[in-house]
């Protein structure tokens, strides 16, 4: 069986006495070391699916298994990176990176050493004594990435991590994250609504559509790292996604009477 | 420059207050013994400083204040953190708190004197009550308003109680708690005087009653001024502390 195994997973909410289906009948298998993007418009259930795999909000139909075990709660082995960073504003950068290590019971000197190593990896070694409020959005997200990597997780969940950043910073961080996961060999599940971002990053793209949230199709991206955003192959994959999302224009037929 | 300007504001504001007082003294026909002028109050103040009674009173009052207010803040914050983390329990505690909260601390006074007698304790109890409810309720509300993302992050990294309390909940709620502690200081100081007027044989509140009994309105007004000045000073000091805390906390903005 594959590393992450999702079978007939669904989630329904009851709101004002009416049942609302956020996610319906998802079947998905993810292998170790894959970079998966969950792509779709808002309301397609991509974050719901991510939260279910991460253990924050469990599904109420079907099953979600990691490494053969049903997911029932968040695990310290899998770390989530949020869009709004989730840094603790009263701790400086290095103390934020050390947070997960403290809970693991790593002693002080070792913690410091590990945190320094990962801050260097995200190129923030000169900011270890700064506070989150003094950093730009991109830098904050890099601190969050360093904090996640510091506990050496098996899986990293990313919930629209670059959604609040400007386009140029976002591209830079995309390159950084590709670099990092090539070196660290993590399984990454990445939620985004940005088609280009998905094509640029993913090994496989799970395209989702809303009402109810479901998987429309899974696309393998036949490109290798480093990808050229303007190459023909890149555009071809984009084109396929447009197709899946029904965003291509129909041929217009003109009637002349 | 800004500091100089605000010093100017303070001086002019107080001069106007004294001016109104002097004017009221001149146009009213109360006897001097009942309604003294600012100058007479100043002379009484100097007299009290010289014979040491003022310092004794301030020391007695500050001692009660420090104990009553300090204990109240500590107990209220700890209890607030616990109740804030247990919303289901708080639902049962809240109605009782809401019943007790609107009762003026002075209403407890006769009861407190009956139980504890005259001395330091009644004033301490009154100050305790005055600061307790606002700090407790603010702490509970601060904890309930903590951004959910901090709990998700803690959950994810496996941070459990009691570390969760002092690593995440207390610091996340602290700016709002600090604000409540600041506001409670004012009301605690107000009720210190009330407590001492009824239940003590020393302190600034007692000095007011004593001055009335001896028909020394000049001492009475001088004491009132001292109470105002100390209240202002305490508020200023804790305001500085609060600002400093908020700055080091920063927040995401």
Say if residue A233's pLDDT is above 80.
no
Q: What's the CATH number where A35 sits?
A: 3.40.50.300
> Beta A204-209 vs A214-220: how paired, if at all?
antiparallel
Domain count across chain B: 1
Q: What does the pLDDT read at residue A253?
A: 65
A14 in the same domain as A98 = no
ipTM: 0.84
User: Are A137 and A165 in a shared domain?
Assistant: no
Distance CA B222, CA B208 (A): 9
> What is the spatial distance between Cα A65 and Cα A72, in angstroms, rounded to a whole number?
9
Tell me which of A75, A79, A88 to substitute to probe the interface with B (most B C-beta atoms closer than 10 Å).
Answer: A88
Let me know if residue B67 belongs to a domain: yes
| Residues A230 and A162 both lie in one domain | yes
State residue A210 phi and psi, 5-degree precision. -85, 175
Specify the CATH number for the domain of residue B84: 1.10.3720.10
Specify the pLDDT at position B4.
65
The gap between the terminal CA atoms of chain A, to the nearest Å, is 61
Residues A127 and A159 in one domain: no
Whole-number pLDDT of residue A181? 77
Calpha distance A22→A24 (Å, rounded): 7
Q: How confident is the model at residue A237 (pLDDT cuts 50, 70, 90)?
A: confident
**Cβ(A128)–Cβ(A116) below 8 Å:** yes
User: Under an 8 A CB cutoff, do B252 and A89 touch?
Assistant: yes
N-to-C CA span, chain B = 28
A15-34: average pLDDT:
86
Q: Residue A256 domain-assigned?
A: no
**What is the domain extent for residue A107?**
88-152
Q: Identify whether A247 is part of a domain.
A: no
Gyration radius (Cα) of chain B, Å: 22
* Residue at B10 is within a domain: no
Contact B203, B123 (CB under 8 A): yes
In whole angstroms, what is the distance from residue A183 CA to residue A227 CA? 17
CA distance A92 to A95: 5
A58 and A71 Cβ atoms separated by less than 8 Å: yes
Whether residue A212 is preceded by a cis peptide bond, meaning omega within 30 degrees of 0, is yes
Please report whether residue A254 resides in a domain. no
DSSP-derived 3-state class of residue A208 = strand
Nearest to B249 among A87, A90, A100 (CB): A90
Structural domain includes residue A248: no
Could you give the angle at the alpha carbon of B243 between the alpha carbons of B238 and B248, nearest 5°? 125
pLDDT at A45 over 70: yes
A9 and A102 part of one domain: no
Give the residue from chain B lying closest to A55, CA to CA: B156
Contacts of B159 in chain A (CB under 8 A): 99, 102-103
> What is the value of pTM for the model shown?
0.80
- pLDDT at position B88 is 92
Same domain, A58 and A34: yes
A-chain residues near B174 (CB < 8 A): 90
A22 and A132 assigned to the same domain: no
> In this predicted model, what pLDDT tens digit does every residue of B68-89 receive, in sequence order?
999 999 999 999 999 999 999 9
Q: Which two tokens stand for residue B234?
A: 């305490």
Residue A198 in domain: yes
Query: Is A96 in the same domain as A197?
Result: no
User: How close A237 comes to chain B (CA, Å)?
Assistant: 34
Which pLDDT value is given to residue B15? 92
Residue A190 lies in a domain: yes
Q: Closest residue of A to B162, CA-based?
A: A103
Q: How far, in Å, are A231, B65, B129, B142, B172 from residue B147 at the CA level? A: 43, 35, 30, 10, 8
Q: Would residue A253 count as lying in a domain?
A: no
Do B157 and A79 count as a contact with CB atoms less than 8 A apart?
Answer: yes
Averaged pLDDT, groups of 10, chain B, 253 residues long = 73 92 90 87 91 90 94 96 92 93 88 86 90 94 92 90 89 90 92 86 90 89 92 91 78 41
pLDDT score of A248: 64
For residue B51, tell me if it sits in a domain: no
How many domains does chain A fold into? 2
CB B48 within 8 A of CB B219: yes
Inside any domain, residue A244? no
Q: Range of B166's domain?
A: 59-249
- Mean pLDDT to the nearest integer, A54-62: 88
Name the residue with higher pLDDT: A257 or A101.
A101
Bond before B162 cis per omega within 30 degrees: yes
- Is the pLDDT score of A182 beyond 80? no
A129 with A58, same domain: the answer is no
Chains A, B: CB pairs < 8 Å: 63
Residue A115 has pLDDT above 60, yes or no: yes
B228 token code pair: 């105002």
A101 & A62 share domain: no
Per-residue pLDDT of A145-181, as tens digits, reads 999 999 989 999 999 988 888 888 888 889 888 888 7
In which band, very low, low, confident or very high, does the pLDDT at A244 lie, cut at 50, 70 and 90? confident
> Hey, are the CB atoms on B153 and A86 less than 8 Å from each other?
yes
Task: Determine which of A116-125, A239-248, B87-96, B164-173 has the lowest per-residue pLDDT on average.
Answer: A239-248
Domain check: are A73 and A157 in the same one? yes
Identify the helix (H) or strand (E) that includes residue A216: strand A214-220
Q: Is the pLDDT of residue A224 over 70?
A: no
Sheet holding A18-30, edge to edge: A18-30, A4-15, A61-66, A69-70
Examine residue B217 and state whether it is found in any structural domain, yes or no: yes
Q: Residue A177 and residue A183: Cα distance in Å, rounded?
A: 10
């Amino acid at each position: 069986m594959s590393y992450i195994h999702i079978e007939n997973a669904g989630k329904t909410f009851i709101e004002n006495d009416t049942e609302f289906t956020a996610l319906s009948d998802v079947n998905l298998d993810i292998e170790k070391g894959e970079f998966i993007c969950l792509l779709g418009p808002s309301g397609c259930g991509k974050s719901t699916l991510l939260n279910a795999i991460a253990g924050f909000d469990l599904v109420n139909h079907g099953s979600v298994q990691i490494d053969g075990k049903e997911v029932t709660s968040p695990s310290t082995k899998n770390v989530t990176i949020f869009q709004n960073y989730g840094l603790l504003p009263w701790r400086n950068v290095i103390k934020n990176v050390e947070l997960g290590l403290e809970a693991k019971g790593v002693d002080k000197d070792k913690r410091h050493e590990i945190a320094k190593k990962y801050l260097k990896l995200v190129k923030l070694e000169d900011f270890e004594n700064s506070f989150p409020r003094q950093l730009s959005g991109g830098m904050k997200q890099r601190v969050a990435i360093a904090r996640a990597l510091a506990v050496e997780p098996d899986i990293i969940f990313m919930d629209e991590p670059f959604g609040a950043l400007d386009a140029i910073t976002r591209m830079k961080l995309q390159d950084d994250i590709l670099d990092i996961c090539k070196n660290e060999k993590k399984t990454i599940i990445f939620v985004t609504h940005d088609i280009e971002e998905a094509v640029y990053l993913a090994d496989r793209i799970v395209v989702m559509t809303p009402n109810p949230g479901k998987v429309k199709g899974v696309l393998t991206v036949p490109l290798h790292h480093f990808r050229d955003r303007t190459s023909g192959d890149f555009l071809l994959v984009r084109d396929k996604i447009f197709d899946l999302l029904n965003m291509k224009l129909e041929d217009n037929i003109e009637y002349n009477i | 420059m800004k500091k100089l300007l605000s010093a100017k504001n303070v001086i002019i504001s107080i001069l106007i207050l004294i001016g109104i007082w002097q004017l009221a003294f001149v146009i009213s026909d109360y006897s001097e013994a009942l309604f003294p002028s600012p100058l007479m109050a100043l002379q009484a103040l100097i007299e009290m400083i010289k014979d040491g009674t003022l310092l004794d009173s301030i020391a007695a009052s500050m001692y009660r204040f420090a104990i009553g207010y300090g204990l109240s803040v500590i107990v209220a914050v700890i209890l607030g953190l616990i109740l804030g983390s247990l919303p289901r329990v708080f639902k049962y505690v809240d109605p009782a708190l809401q019943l007790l909260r609107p009762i003026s601390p002075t209403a407890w006074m006769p009861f407190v004197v009956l139980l504890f007698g005259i001395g330091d304790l009644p004033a301490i109890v009154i100050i305790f009550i005055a600061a307790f409810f606002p700090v407790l309720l603010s702490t509970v509300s601060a904890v309930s308003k903590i951004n959910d993302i901090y709990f998700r992050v803690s959950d994810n990294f496996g941070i459990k109680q009691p570390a969760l309390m002092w690593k995440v909940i207390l610091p996340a709620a602290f700016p709002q708690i600090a604000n409540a502690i600041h506001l409670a200081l004012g009301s605690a100081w107000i009720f210190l005087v009330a407590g001492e007027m009824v239940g003590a044989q020393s302190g600034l509140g007692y000095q007011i009653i004593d001055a009335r009994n001896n028909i020394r309105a000049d001492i009475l007004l001088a004491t009132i001024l001292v109470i105002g000045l100390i209240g202002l000073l305490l508020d200023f000091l804790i305001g500085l502390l609060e600002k400093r805390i908020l700055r080091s906390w920063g927040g995401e903005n």
